[in-house]
């Protein structure tokens, strides 16, 4: 099963993503800021990172840029709120492979993952 790291400062969102993903994926970590996301990524090198854009200490865009700099083959899907188009453009420039928009439903999450990490 593909290994996934979930990075979101909202415990509710982490729980929601875990519930959607745990059936077909191994959750290797759940973190609440970009600093932790980079650290756990480097320790675990999961197949996929589900990365919130707006997080404390270090946002998802900076964390994605850091992860992609150290591993260009890393797969990162950004989780964004409606109305954050500019942030999404920044995330794509930082190397994001895809995105989902909150509030998300299981089918859209699975579809975004399958576009990035073929099963």
Residue 23 lies in a domain: yes
Tell me what pLDDT residue 103 has. Answer: 84
Tell me what pLDDT residue 3 has. Answer: 97
Residue 17 lies in a domain: yes
- Identify the domain containing residue 94 by its residue range: 3-105
Residue 84 lies in a domain: yes
Percentage of the chain modeled with pLDDT above 70: 99
Q: In this structure, what CATH number is given to the domain that contains residue 30?
A: 3.40.50.2300
pLDDT category, 5, cuts 50, 70, 90? very high
Residue 41 lies in a domain: yes
Residue 115 lies in a domain: no
Is-contact 112 79, C-beta < 8 A?
no
Contacts for 13 with CB less than 8 Å, ≥ 6 apart: 52, 79, 102
Residue 116 lies in a domain: no
Residue 118 lies in a domain: no
Total tally of structural domains belonging to the chain: 1
pLDDT category, 81, cuts 50, 70, 90? confident
pLDDT category, 119, cuts 50, 70, 90? low
pLDDT, one tens digit per residue, over 20-61 is 999 999 999 999 999 999 999 999 999 999 999 999 999 999
Q: Measure the CA–CA gap between 70 and 13, rounded to whole angstroms.
A: 27
Tell me what pLDDT residue 118 has. Answer: 75
Residue 37 lies in a domain: yes
């Amino acid at each position: 099963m593909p290994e996934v790291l979930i990075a979101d400062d909202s415990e509710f969102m982490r729980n929601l993503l875990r519930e959607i993903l745990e059936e077909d994926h191994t959750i290797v970590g759940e973190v609440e800021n970009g600093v932790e996301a980079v650290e756990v990524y480097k320790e675990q090198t999961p197949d996929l990172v589900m990365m919130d854009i707006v997080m404390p200490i270090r946002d998802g865009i900076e964390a994605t840029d850091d992860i992609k700099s150290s591993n260009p083959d890393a797969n990162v899907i950004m989780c964004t709120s409606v109305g954050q188009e500019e942030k999404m453009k920044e995330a794509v420039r930082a190397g994001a492979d895809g995105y989902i928009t909150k509030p998300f439903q299981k089918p859209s999450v699975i579809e975004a993952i399958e576009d990035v990490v073929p099963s």
